[in-house]
A and B are shown apart, each in its own frame.
Chain A
Amino acid sequence: MNTLQQELDTLLAAMAAQKKFSRDDWEALLLAKLVEEDGHEQQQSH
């Protein structure tokens, strides 16, 4: 995971803790993150 990604994750975690997202946005964000991780895993296995 690169530095930009780590910073993004830190920012997201902080915003989540402060409840800056709506429920729908937060949920979509989490699911999108899982899709992104799945995509990375598939790329690496190829």
Chain B
Amino acid sequence: MNNSSPINPATDKTICLIQLTRIGDLLQTMKAAQLFKTHYPDVRLILVGRKKFLAPLTFLLPKTFAKIYALDYEQLVAPPEGSTTPLNAALQRLRQWISLINQENIDVVVNLSFSPSSSYLSKLISAKHHLGLSRRNNGELEIGGSWAQYIYATTMAGPLNPFSIIDLYQLMLAPARDLAKNPLALAASHHSSTTELAVWRPSTLPADWAKRDFTLVVHPFASHGKKTWKIHKWGEVIYKIAKNLPSLKIVVVGGPHDLKDGHQLEDMALIKQVMPQIEWQIGKGSISDLFHHLKTARMLLAPDSMAQQLAMFSETPAVILALGCVRPGETTAYTPYNLVISPRRGCFPCFLQDACPDYACHAHLNETIVAQVVSEYLTTGAINLAKFKQDNSLYYREGLTLWASEIESNGLFNLRPLWGGQDVRDIFRQLYRVAFSYDLAQIEGPAPFPQINGSLRQLLTQHQAGLHYLADLSQFGKQYSQAIIQELALSHPAMEKIKELTQKIAEIEDLQNILKKTYPYLSPLIDLGLVRKAHLAGNNLVHLAEASYYTYEHSFCQAQIMHDLIQQTIDHYQSFARP
């Protein structure tokens, strides 16, 4: 298993990407692939996805992928009706389909989905290297590549990942230095101010933006009720925007399954007052038609959904409402001219499966403020933040954060807070961003000190104690691993001693899990160490013990880096705090 470097485009000329999740994930995959192709145009990219999600994107995907293989559940996987040996018949069809893929002489398989099916499929596709989830010959799970291990350890477990998913996909595909070549990246001399801006303007807008129709596309729907407002709030915001801008055309879009909510919206008394400004496109047309609407419009207003991912390709600035389980830092469309509005609430973001009877975070996004943000950005291409402060009471402003997307000079996507302070998760994300981007990719970049207060300082100090414990456990791990190596070097190694040392290493893992419960904001560090430990590279005990030693060494260094970053943050705060 190749655990270290990503692909070598000089020799790896055919790369197969597996993306078995939904349309939004396919669009994110395509964006990462598109950016990769700008640096390596002679590398052939093949995509494997599900037929039902690939089919609506046939107008877009072939621009980047030389070949697309569709996993058609009904034709390839479902037990054939009427067959007396349904298992064998299904296996036969799948085997034939996979053998077609294997005729492509693939150099590297990169699995960008994290599911059991995708891991088995990755194993079945022949290649020199497999990155992402795959399987060993005995069926055990294997995660190839340091960035795939990072994704598995952090994004699946909680909301502390500080990177865009598209950046993570890029880092799985290409050397980190390629990210800085993005033409939309800020200049190296650019420094984002840490003081409050009076006026925010994106670093760039699409070249044809001013010539586009004065049209707003609104896509009020999402894959889950948690992620979007109830329809009446959408009706209120559409009404307010229409009243603010009487010459604006508003195109309301959605799929056939959104028709019921669409009719409810049309029937609202407020909407009837502004009906002449609205074009209804719910349940009419395809995703390709939605793309064409976006291409001619000035802006998109939507929750986190496929529509904002599509807006990346139509180069349409978007105002995105991030609600419920959405992690805007991970999923916001990868262009430098979007605004995100998210609630400031302890439970945000949650997990999809968390029970939530009333979606309380939805109320934090006030319709008037959303309408103001959209109206001003549409008309001026900027947001006058000083005026917003004057026009909106603290009560409403404190309930939300307004973020602006940018691509930093090092090529990493970032959401910069324009107003709304940072909570403890924002602080830790900011620190992890510095630590992981340097440690895993040697990327340095703009790193303003997080803005903390007295209680955040206390929390950070507590977690420094946790980092001490983590460093100590890592030292013990190194010690036991080294003892195993030394024992194996003897002419007659004592297996009982090796078993005992292995048991001690297993106890370290138990203690790390306990540490995670006491210091939950250290979970990315601890989980990454555990995932690495579970996927040690090596064919014999000596190699595995050496890999174990270096994994603990790495954990020790990461604990030190985080400790130092926290200390610098505290020192900076104390140098400005009142005595």
Contacts and interface: CB of A to CB of B under 8 A. Distances in A.
Interface residues of B, number: 24
Interface residues of A, number: 20
A2 interface: no
Contacts of A31: 94, 116-117, 120-121, 124
A27 B73 contact: yes
Query: Chain B at the A interface: mostly helix, strand, loop or mixed?
Result: helix
Contacts of B90: 16, 30
B138 interface: yes
A27 to B, nearest CB: 5
Nearest to A12: B87
B267 to A, nearest CB: 36
B140 to A, nearest CB: 10
Interface in A1-44: 9, 12-13, 16-17, 23-24, 26-28, 30-36, 38-39, 42
B91 A36 contact: no
Nearest to B73: A23
Given A35-B123, A35-B124, A30 B77 contact: yes
Given A13-B87, A16-B87, A27-B77, A34 B138 contact: no
Q: Which of A17, A24, A30 has the most CB of B within 10 A?
A: A30
B78 to A, nearest CB: 8
Contacts of B177: none
A29 B221 CA distance: 34
B51 to A, nearest CB: 13
Nearest to A28: B116
B137 interface: yes
Nearest to A13: B87
B79 interface: yes
Contacts of B117: 24, 27-28, 31
B52 to A, nearest CB: 11
Q: Which of A12, A13, A27, A34 has the most CB of B within 10 A?
A: A27
A30 B86 CA distance: 11
Contacts of B168: none
Contacts of A17: 79, 86
B22 to A, nearest CB: 13
Contacts of A24: 115-117
Nearest to B85: A13
Contact of A36 (B78, B98, B115, B139): B139
Interface string B103-133: 0000000000001110011011000000000
A41 to B, nearest CB: 10
A35 B91 contact: no
A30 B115 CA distance: 14
A13 B86 contact: yes
A2 B87 CA distance: 17
B344 to A, nearest CB: 36
Contact of B77 (A12, A26, A39): A26
B111 to A, nearest CB: 12
Contacts of A39: 137-139
Given A9-B88, A17-B79, A30-B94, 15 more contacts: A16-B79, A17-B86, A23-B73, A24-B115, A24-B116, A26-B78, A28-B117, A28-B120, A31-B117, A31-B121, A32-B139, A35-B124, A35-B135, A35-B139, A38-B137
Closest 9 CB pairs of A and B: A31-B120, A28-B116, A13-B87, A16-B79, A39-B137, A28-B117, A27-B117, A27-B77, A16-B86
